[in-house]
Structure 1
């Protein structure tokens, strides 16, 4: 498995959602949980050991991530319309202060990324996303950062440590979808989140839960 350099999150390491999505494909279950053990290296040939319905990702002898089947019992908040989601994108916190502006998913210094701009709504964050394909990896990516921006504040950068996702439908390439994120709990420097992707007809395409950890951005060269 290889994470191309363009799919970075923090500088020099793979975006959490992209990494989780790529490894989850080796498990093949409807719902998969991926735990990131260290920053995923970019442009590096990584080894995947898949057996007994699970998968582990190695950089040499170093364990980078592990994936296992799981189940999700998440109740998403009330749906946000595409019009309402688009309206709050101008209030996206990353436009004023972004800890990782080159992030593939939500970076403000990227013209070739997903370009998500999750703005504040009463229950968390919301933004629009128009997928260019039905690649499940991009669904994982799209459900990553909007959840993180429910808790990201100036001077409080966080990175994804664990993500679980359940696919409940398929995206419609070229059509506007809505992503929402919300907080489910906090424990010191650790924050738990949920996120949901809704299709053009408002149906739930995927749900995800995440665990985030506060970090020093200097760790990633930001």
Structure 2
């Protein structure tokens, strides 16, 4: 029997599909030789929950995830050339953004393990945030919880990947013209996983855009300013407000 992955419903993103960051982190752990090695995930279709998905390895540096004949995503070891901006955070303001941020009730992302406000402490990551200073930058607090830690008390890699996902959208978009979007590509390198109990922040910044593609970066820091992980992202603007099926994610993403 081949290698498979079943995504528990606890790790949902939009509605009844897997969170892209979490899924990417699980696959990266099966591909990278160590956590610092960047892994790039290209998402081709939403990942269904609670069903076995087939992992197909293509040498040492690539793998794919499929549901039957549907390609869900591709993973490969790839370089990550991205430099986070200087670490300057107003923590009082970041706390205020956290209290009002994230995905509210009525949103397709209300139950997202990363940004959903419908998730309880210790269940969801509760990385709630939003744009700063009119856009182009986002702050999202993250209170690292023991429920997501390994035996050594550090947050497990797949959850670190998760923290880096949603905040990129809040930086990439224009706050005055917000449009639903999903992760099209995510490349991550983990430098030092935070410990349970630490107060952290994810800083997101806008890089650019090309049609329906938005580009951003995210970086996870501890309160003392230690850089824990960084990511480069491509976001795909949806054609309407509905969460898309496979057809809405462009398969020509290069």
Compute the TM-score of the two structures, normalised by the length of structure 2. Answer: 0.80
Counterpart of 2:161 (choices 129, 134, 140) is: 140
- Which moves more between the two structures, 161-170 or 123-132? 123-132
Give the match for residue 121 of structure 1: 132
- Give unmatched runs, 5+ long, in structure 1: none
- Aligned residues: CA RMSD: 2.1
Superposition pairs for residues 32-43 of structure 1, below 5 Å?
A: 32-43=39-50
Counterpart of 2:66 (choices 33, 54, 58) is: 58
Superposition pairs for residues 1-222 of structure 1, below 5 Å?
A: 1-29=5-33, 30-50=37-57, 51-79=59-87, 80-92=89-101, 94-95=103-104, 98-111=107-120, 112-122=123-133, 123-132=136-145, 133=149, 134-150=155-171, 151=173, 156-215=179-238, 216-220=240-244
- Contact between 1:82 and 1:176, CA under 8 Å: does it hold in 2? no
Q: Deviations over 1:55-83 (max 9, x none)?
A: 11111222211111112121212322544
Alpha-carbon separation, structure 2, partners of 1:146 and 1:164: 14
Q: Check 1:130–1:34 CA distance in 2 against 1; reply closer, same or farther (3 A cut).
A: same
How many residues end up aligned between the 2 structures?
221
- Give unmatched runs, 5+ long, in structure 2: 150-154, 246-254
Alpha-carbon separation, structure 1, partners of 2:115 and 2:102: 11
Q: Give the superposition deviation at 1:109.
A: 2.3
Alpha-carbon separation, structure 1, partners of 2:157 and 2:13: 18
- Contact between 1:159 and 1:213, CA under 8 Å: does it hold in 2? yes
Q: Which runs of 4+ in 1 moved over 6 A?
A: none
- Contact between 1:16 and 1:141, CA under 8 Å: does it hold in 2? yes
Q: Deviations over 1:113-141 (max 9, x none)?
A: 11121132245111211222120000110
- Which moves more between the two structures, 197-206 or 144-153? 144-153
Q: Check 1:202–1:47 CA distance in 2 against 1; reply closer, same or farther (3 A cut).
A: same
Q: Give the superposition deviation at 1:197.
A: 0.3
